[in-house]
Structure 1
Amino acid sequence: MEENMEYQLNLGAWNSVFVVPSILVDQHIKLAGAVQLKVILWVLRHAGESFSTDTIAQALSMHEADVKDCMQYWTETGIICLHEQMITPAAISEPVLVQKETTVAVPSAETESSSPDAKTEKESNNRKRALSRPEKPDMKYLTQRMNEDESIAFLMRSADEIFGRMTSNSDKETLLMIHEYDGLPVDVLIMLLQYALSVGKCNMRYIEKMAITWSDEDITTLQAAENKIKQLNLGRDAAKHIQRLFGLSDRSPSEKEKTLADLWINQWQLPDELIREAYEICINNNGKYVPQYIGTTLESWYSAGVTNVSQIKREEEPDKKTHKRKKKDGYQPSYNIEEYESTSVLDEEWDD
């Protein structure tokens, strides 16, 4: 009588498996960030179990806020559905093409060169923003655009790499809005992100504000962006130089101070002694540091062709005899501080 034989199929690591939806690989493997993929895989692996976002955060060594962002991403892209703390597969439906009224298609360089209407399209992209902020695209539309255009997906991955963290869904939506509404090409936008990192301002509010300025100034090529960044860096260096010259505390200068410093040093190329003299006059007359007052003084000297402090001393501190003679002859100095204070082009309102 033959002995019964028992067999066991040993698949090794494959003895324990879990299901991964095909759509996750087919449509999201290139689009989703590494952190987002980690979260959805962890969730799928623990199907049937109870867990919290804090549980996932601890298991993956992440911040809980990032886990919540990831869950929102998979919900808005139609992979999962969250209802009363229950995660279920999202209902299967045909993808819907979402078109925002405020969205403006940005033509590629190839399209611009071949299309007879390229000039018109470019002009529409370079228009200034309306006073009201445009509506940001939602995650569903962002995912659609990332599927349609590899450059959009590349922009989102680049943002994560530049900032060294997973950018939030809201930040990604803002980047898409900047690209499509303000007309900044992907390569220019990436250069803007790199600049923001270099100056320690990686918040999206600052990036969006800069992007609007670049769009208004028609900075839509890498060369134009490089020139703009060079100008910004010169302004920052000039502002730091002015701070050292005036003996001010090491703080971050305002946009007004950077603009004035760039004007005095890079454009007018005024010597340090002249700038320092204007500072001393400001302190003597006002008892405090007033950049606008110094700017008015320097503007009057620059317009009068004053290049050194000795010229100022000769005109402002004449001896009594010379002063009487000049007064008698109706002499007027080549510049008038009071007049410039009332008419200076630097007196306009500034936004820091």
Structure 2
Amino acid sequence: MEYSVNHGAWNAVFAVPSSLVDQHIRLAGALQLKVLLWVLRHAGERFTPEMIAEAVGASAADVRDAMQYWTITGLLSETAAQDDDAPSAAAPAPQKSTADAHTPASLSEPAANPPARQAPAGDAAQTAAASAPNFSAPAAASAASPAAAPNAAFPAPRRIPKPDGLFLAKRVSESEELSCLMQEAQVILGRALSPGLSSGLLMLFDDYGLPADVILMLLQYAKSRGRDNTSYIESVGKSWADEGINSHERAEQKLRRLDETALAWRRLQTLLGIDRRSPSRREEQFASAWITDWKFSDALIREAYNRCIDATGKMKLSYMNKILEGWHLKGISTLEAAQAEQQAVRDRNRKKAQPRAVTYDLDALEQMDLTSLPK
């Protein structure tokens, strides 16, 4: 079978950036590609996300997410809407020439002085107007971006607001390290980053001080556990920042500890017949203490389980922990020692429970002077 070009279709053409194929053809999703092609086809026209959604057969929310992806990658830029209600079609952001390209910054250090985000000023009406997205040329985006200022303290206070799309696009365009982080994150997760996750990664990088390589290690861990959603990644990232995990070495130690805890829990599940499920934090702590820290054998853990069942009629890890913690403090590390300790306790209790025999010295009573007895 042979193919030929239909020249009639070439009467109307539009430009597509080379970087779309060179850099994004593997990472971008089908909807993101459709949205960008539609936007490039209607460059210079006025449109709304609803118009694109109707054309490509998707929801307006998904269209906004797709456009946010191209904003983050730099092919589109986002500015605050002006007087018009509908945003204009986006123009592709200018590509760096080969002569201007340089090696990406090392992923071992966090951004030293990331620009500070500023809250929008004005009344509610001005705020609502400023929140409407308008995709246009990069020069307009730069003019509408918040003023850059170095952070006064490090790390910043907790409960930090997540950056918006404008600030995110500005930071990605300014920092080669941050841009590399976003691209590597997509490779690790195997999908395009949502606006929420992109903002969350920027927050961990700028505000919580996690280096880029630590964030990538966090993403690999979340992916391996099948919990690579935005809320889990942000929660773990904040926890790592609070624990001072701000270097590659500390992150490796943390991940090693997490792996040991996961192995301990799986061993405990098998030993006690616990259903296959994710453990609670307290259950993880018990498993880690018994198996990783105290290094109890399966026989000792099973003995603690049997005593728990005998005493309470059901499995209670907190009750088992009291037994095992007591053995740990007493230095009991074998089943024989635990059974001997239990037998010693039983003997003491039995001895205390026996009645004391009453005896009398008859000779002493006979010699006792009855007159000396108290009246």
TM-score by length of 2: 0.65
The two structures, once aligned, show a CA RMSD in angstroms of: 3.7
Q: For 1:98 and 1:25, locate their aligned partners in 2 and report how far apart those are by CA, in whole Å.
A: 30
What secondary structure does 1:307 align onto?
A: coil
Q: 1:281 aligns with which of 307, 323, 330?
A: 307
Q: Does 1:249 align with 2:297?
A: no
Q: Which residue in 2 is equivalent to 1:98?
A: 146
CA–CA distance in structure 1, aligned partners of residues 197 and 350 of structure 2 = 69
Q: Is the 8 A contact 1:53 1:68 kept in 2?
A: no
Cα distance in 2 between the residues matched to 1:17 and 1:42: 12
**Post-superposition shift, 1:180?**
0.7
Aligned counterpart in structure 2 of residue 39 of structure 1, from 4, 14, 35: 35
SS in 2 for 1:288: coil
Distance in structure 2 (CA, Å) of the matches to 1:278 and 1:54 = 64
1:150 aligns with 2:197: no
Name the CA shift for 1:54/1:290 in 2 (closer, same or farther; >3 Å): farther
Structure 2: distance between partners of 1:324 and 1:282: 22
**Map of 1:192 onto structure 2:** 218
Amino acid at match of 2:146: V
- C-alpha contact 2:65 2:195 (8 A) present in aligned 1: yes
Give the structure 2 partner of residue 172 of structure 1.
198
Structure 1, 201-210 or 47-56: larger mean CA deviation: 47-56
CA distance in 1, matches of 2:222, 2:39: 35
- What SS does the corresponding residue of 1:95 show, helix, strand or coil? helix
Distance 1:163 1:321 in 2: 61
Name the aligned partner's letter for residue 152 of structure 1.
L
Counterparts in 2 of 1:94 and 1:262: CA distance versus 1, 3 Å: closer
Is the partner of 1:78 in helix, strand or coil? Answer: strand
Q: In structure 2, how many angstroms separate the alpha carbons of the residues matched to 1:321 and 1:296?
A: 22
How far apart in 2 are the matches of 1:180 and 1:228? 21
Instruction: Report Cα offsets for 1:248-285 as digits up to 9, x if no partner.
Output: 11112222211211111111111111111111222222
Percent identity of the aligned residues?
Answer: 36
Q: Report the CA distance between 1:160 and its aligned residue.
A: 1.9
Post-superposition offset of 1:14: 5.2
80-89 vs 199-208, greater mean Cα deviation: 80-89
One-letter amino acid of the structure 2 residue matched with residue 39 of structure 1: V
Kindly state the Cα deviation for residue 168 of structure 1 after the two structures are TM-superposed: 1.1
Task: Quote the Cα distance in structure 1 between the aligned partners of 2:265 and 2:194.
Answer: 33
Q: Distance in 2 between matches of 1:287 and 1:223?
A: 46
Considering only CA atoms, is the larger Rg found in Structure 1 or Structure 2?
2
Q: Identify which range, 216-225 or 202-211, moves more after superposition.
A: 216-225
Paired residue type of 2:223: L
2:333 counterpart letter in structure 1: T
The one-letter code matched in structure 1 to 2:166 is K
Change (3 A) 1:178 1:31: farther
Between 199-208 and 35-44, the greater mean CA deviation after superposition: 35-44
> 1:237 deviation in Å?
0.4
Is the 8 Å Cα contact of residues 39 and 56 (structure 1) preserved in structure 2?
yes
Contact 1:74 1:80 in 2 (8 A): no
After TM superposition, list the pairs within 5 Å mapping 1:80-159 onto structure 2.
Answer: 87-88=88-89, 90=134, 93=140, 95-96=142-143, 97-98=145-146, 104=151, 124-125=154-155, 129-130=157-158, 133-159=159-185
**Aligned partners of 2:40 and 2:89 also within 8 Å:** no
Ranges in structure 1 where 5+ consecutive residues have no aligned partner:
1-9, 106-120, 329-352
Aligned residues: 288
Residue 67 in structure 1 maps to residue 63 in structure 2: yes
Structure 2 partner of 1:217: 243
Q: Residue 296 and residue 257 in structure 1: after superposition, are their counterparts in 2 closer, same or farther (change >3 A)?
A: same
Whole-angstrom CA distance in 1 between matches of 2:201 and 2:173: 16
